[in-house]
Amino acid sequence: MMSRRSARNHLTSSLARLGALLGLTFSVGCSSQDPAGLRLTLREDGKGSIAVAALSLPDVALTEERDTTGVKWDLAAKLTVTTGVFDSLDVVAFEDLEVDSTKFTDPGGTIRISIPRGPDAKWYKAIHVSATDRGRLQKALNGAIDQIELHENVTIAVDVQKARVAASLVQTVPRVTVREKRGVVSVVIPLEVLEAPGSPMILVINWEAITPTR
């Protein structure tokens, strides 16, 4: 059984990781308060990590039991953060969102991310609730201690470490913003754009390794 101190340390560590992910959403200049999205971090050797933050409305009856009296729980909102590592960006996919990149043998390269949209796309549905449930989600967030305004966006961030980056969509899409800052590319996509029919958006990221100053 986990001791009280171990449990507290585990909680502190979990909150720190969550805070770092949420901090990314704000620090890269996004206009979204929504924490839902994914982040790819790429090292110089081509290996890296992925973090996915997903919002959901779980069944209250299936959520963690609490030792309370006099309360009838009627609504639950949940943020789940999962992380993982990969040996090559070329094999990375999340649902139907696919990544392709050049080999890391030169001091630079190109990363292409195919971002499906429309009612048949799967990836954004895996990290955010449906249009019919977003009102319920906002109601739950309104009841939080520190109220969160739901802007109904999804953020994709790509961090190429020790590199300069430049990014754009092959074809611009209204209301979709692409920004670069300190080696991090962020794309903020309104859910309405993702839910509307359309061909996949292609994000192209060109990167150049930063040569250390001698």
User: In the prediction, which pLDDT does 104 show?
Assistant: 55
**Whole-model pTM?**
0.80
User: In the prediction, which pLDDT does 106 show?
Assistant: 63
Domains identified in the chain, total number:
1
Residue 130 has pLDDT above 50, yes or no: yes
Indicate the range of 12-21, 56-65, 204-213 predicted with least confidence.
Answer: 12-21
**Position of tokens 């999804």?**
154
Judge whether 127 and 154 are in contact, CB under 8 Å: yes
What average pLDDT does range 129-146 have in this prediction? 87
The DSSP 8-state label assigned to residue 171 in this structure reads: S
- DSSP-assigned beta bridge partners for residue 56: 78
Q: Residue 54 falls within a domain, yes or no?
A: yes
Q: Residue 214 falls within a domain, yes or no?
A: no
**Residue of higher predicted confidence among 169 and 181:** 169
Identify the domain containing residue 130 by its residue range. 4-209
Q: Is 89 helix (H, G, I), strand (E, B) or coil?
A: helix
Q: Residue 128 falls within a domain, yes or no?
A: yes
Provide the mean pLDDT of the chain.
81
User: In the prediction, which pLDDT does 105 show?
Assistant: 53
% of the chain residues with pLDDT over 90: 52
Q: Residue 79 falls within a domain, yes or no?
A: yes
**What are the tokens at 162?**
């020790």
What average pLDDT does range 105-120 have in this prediction? 88
The pLDDT-based confidence of 28 (bands split at 50, 70, 90) is very low
